Homo-oligomer: A and B are copies of this chain.
Amino acid sequence: MPETARRPESHRYGNRPTMKDVAARAGVGLKTVSRVVNGEPGVTADTERRVQEAIEALGFRRNDSARVLRKGRTASMGLVLEDLADPFYGPLSRAVEEVARAHGTLLFNGSSAEDPEREQELALALCARRVDGLVIIPAGDDHRYLEPEIRAGVATVFVDRPAGRIDADVVLSDNHGGARAGVAHLIAHGHRRIGFIGDMPRIHTAAERLRGYRTAMEDAGIPVAPSWTSLGVTDPERVRRAAEEMLSGPEPVTAIFAGNNRVTITVVRVLAELSRPVALVGFDDFELADLLRPGVTVVAQDAALLGRTAADRLFRRLDGSLVAPERIELPTRLITRGSGELPPAG
């Protein structure tokens, strides 16, 4: 009786038909409906037809939440990145999604906005949903809060920046080598006074790129003047000031290495207003870099490959791989377009 009363005659919102309702309507047992829905064997064609009709008539859709509770695996994963709106993360995110899709897994997405607290909050919320795995672009530098989760079986892979104070899989670009190659490229074109503008060194990628700059300069036996490096500037106005400063003064730089794509673009703006040519190489490729005059020479990392590699790694873990956590470094590629090949002026 109570079952009949719960029939979805009522168009009450939020009251969806369940397998029980379908079973009642089809005149079969609950488990038989489950079998039909999951394509399990052991149901006659006639019974199956009756069940299908009932499903159709009621607009039944299996409740995967309940399924998950019973089965253990949720077939979902989380991606915590820095900012969905940043064009660098679009392709990365998309690549992770494609791998997830290939494994029949849905993807939760969230932005940390470069705030460690928010990263943690997000990651733990995802764990509470019992995602099978996490791909994290770290904002913070201490990830011990994830220890119980990882121990409990949440496959976790860090991308773009290493994990802090825990042992986990990490997929990085070769930031040091890329920056080194980019700066060496400028040196090879005759520059000696080369500036570096980058993000706060507490961000691992920024620190590594700075290190690459220093290595290249050292390789060439060029001492670096303090006024040539500018760290921790990220908003356009301060980047502009930093660039203008190193371009004036007694020993102005003849070339600039920009530590990430946002910096690069601002520097392009500054240089466009200048009368003399200044060489520029930027870390990270960006759309339209080839359309500018001159085209912008960049050290490109493959965001999609980063994402794909991380996701592959994650699913290998979920499939039971027990190899020790690994640090994978992907190579970068120097793309010459003109701005990095300008000779020193003055």
Using a CB–CB cutoff of 8 Å, the interface residues on chain A facing chain B are 11-16, 59, 61-66, 68-69, 72, 74, 76, 79, 83-87, 89-91, 93-94, 97, 101, 106-111, 124-130, 147-149, 151-154, 265, 268-269, 272, 286-288, 291-293, 304
For A15, A64, A109, A272, which residue has the most chain B Cβ atoms within 10 angstroms?
A109
In the bound complex, residues from chain B placing their C-beta under 8 Å from that of A62 are 128
CB-based contact B91/A85 at 8 Å: yes
Q: Is B109 a contact of A107 with CB atoms below 8 Å?
A: yes
Instruction: A41 to B281: give the CA distance in the assembly, Å.
Output: 60
20 contacts between A and B (CB under 8 A): A11-B72, A13-B151, A14-B151, A15-B152, A15-B153, A61-B124, A61-B149, A65-B65, A65-B68, A84-B90, A87-B287, A94-B111, A97-B109, A97-B111, A107-B108, A108-B108, A108-B109, A265-B291, A268-B291, A293-B293
Q: A269 to B293: give the CA distance in the assembly, Å.
A: 12
Cross-chain contact A129 with B64 (CB below 8 angstroms): yes
Chain B residues closer than 8 Å to A153, beta-carbon distance? 11, 13-16
Cβ B110 vs Cβ A16 within 8 A = no
Q: Are B287 and A272 in contact, with the CB atoms below 8 A? A: no
Complex-state Cα separation, A63 to B129, whole angstroms? 6
Closest chain B residue, CB of each to CB of A100: B110
- A148 contacts which chain B residues (CB < 8 A)? 59, 61
Among B86, B93, B291, the residue within 8 A (CB) of A292 is B291
In the complex, are the beta carbons of B107 and A110 less than 8 A apart? yes
* Also in contact, A72 and B13, with CB within 8 A (given A85-B94, A93-B85, A291-B268): yes
The residue on B at minimum CB distance from A64 is: B128
Cβ-defined contact, B151 with A59, below 8 A? yes
Partner of A13, one of B90, B109, B152, B286: B152
* Chain B residues within an 8 Å CB radius of A64: 125, 128-130
Q: For residue A130, which residues in chain B have a CB less than 8 angstroms away from its CB?
A: 13, 63-65
Q: Is the CB of B14 within 8 A of A154?
A: yes
Contact B106 A152 (CB under 8 A): no
A69 partner residues in chain B, CB cutoff 8 A: 63, 65-66, 69
Closest approach, in angstroms, between the C-beta of A247 and any C-beta of chain B?
Answer: 18
Query: Closest CB-CB distance, A302 to chain B, in whole Å?
Result: 13
A66 contacts which chain B residues (CB < 8 A)? Answer: 69
B90 touches A85 (CB 8 A): yes
CB-nearest residue of chain B relative to A290?
B269
Neighbouring B residues of A149 by C-beta, 8 Å: 61
Q: Which residues of B contact A106 (CB under 8 A)?
A: 108, 110, 125-126, 129
Q: Write the nearest CB–CB distance from A125 to chain B, whole angstroms.
A: 6
Q: Are A65 and B74 in contact (CB under 8 A)?
A: yes
Contacts of A89 in B (CB 8 A): 90
By the criterion CB–CB under 8 Å, are B124 and A11 in contact? no
B72 touches A97 (CB 8 A): no
Decide: A87 and B84 in contact? CB cutoff 8 A: no
Residue pair A129, B83 in contact (C-beta under 8 Å): no
Q: Contact: B109 with A93, CB < 8 Å? A: yes
> Given A85-B94, A94-B111 in contact, is the A72-B265 Cβ separation under 8 Å?
no
Residue of A91, A125, A129, A286 with highest tally of chain B CB at under 10 A: A129
